[in-house]
Amino acid sequence: MEEFNQFLMNKAILSSILAWFIAQTTKAIFLTIKNRKFRFNLYSLPGGFPSSHSATCVALVTAIGLIDGLNSSVFAVSVILAVFIIYDAKVIRVAAGKQAQSLNKVLDMIEEDTGERIEKLKEILGHSLLEILCGGLIGVLAALIICLW
């Protein structure tokens, strides 16, 4: 039980959880307003504004920097991993979204020919630079709130 309490009091973990929650809640609010309907699965959707990937990673990096110092090995590891995760969210998943758009066009042609309804692929998977920057800002603020209070 003591280990679980220590886990829950870990400021780096708490910072990341808070950043993820703020980013996903913001995303859910925007989508609820846009679609005029709230669904709990909005908390699990990838892509969109702001980037919860960036928020979570940047919160972790910021918290580790504040706790262990910018010269620590664990800070260096967290920075490198965050760069790869954010790169994936920006570049790789955007490319996958473009592939999904192309495949959906092919599926539309097949539907026209066969009359059979085919489930489409999700096309919005990655993040824009603005979504990443806003997610990063949320991450920094979440880590500052947790680590400096």
Cα–Cα distance measured from residue 30 to residue 107, given in angstroms and rounded to the nearest whole number = 30
pLDDT at 139: 98
Helix residue spans in 9-92 (DSSP H): 11-35, 52-68, 73-87
pLDDT at 125: 66
Token pair in block for residue 8: 């829950």
Please write the tens of the pLDDT for every residue from 80-92.
999 999 988 877 7
Coil, strand or helix at 97? helix
Cα–Cα distance measured from residue 60 to residue 45, given in angstroms and rounded to the nearest whole number = 21
Cα–Cα distance measured from residue 80 to residue 48, given in angstroms and rounded to the nearest whole number = 23
Q: What is the pLDDT along the chain (149 residues), one digit of tens a residue?
A: 788 888 888 999 999 999 999 999 998 888 888 888 777 776 777 677 899 999 999 999 999 999 999 999 999 999 999 999 998 887 777 777 788 888 888 888 888 878 788 888 776 667 788 899 999 999 999 999 999 98
pTM attached to this predicted model: 0.81
Q: Considering the chain, what percentage of its residues have pLDDT values greater than 90?
A: 44
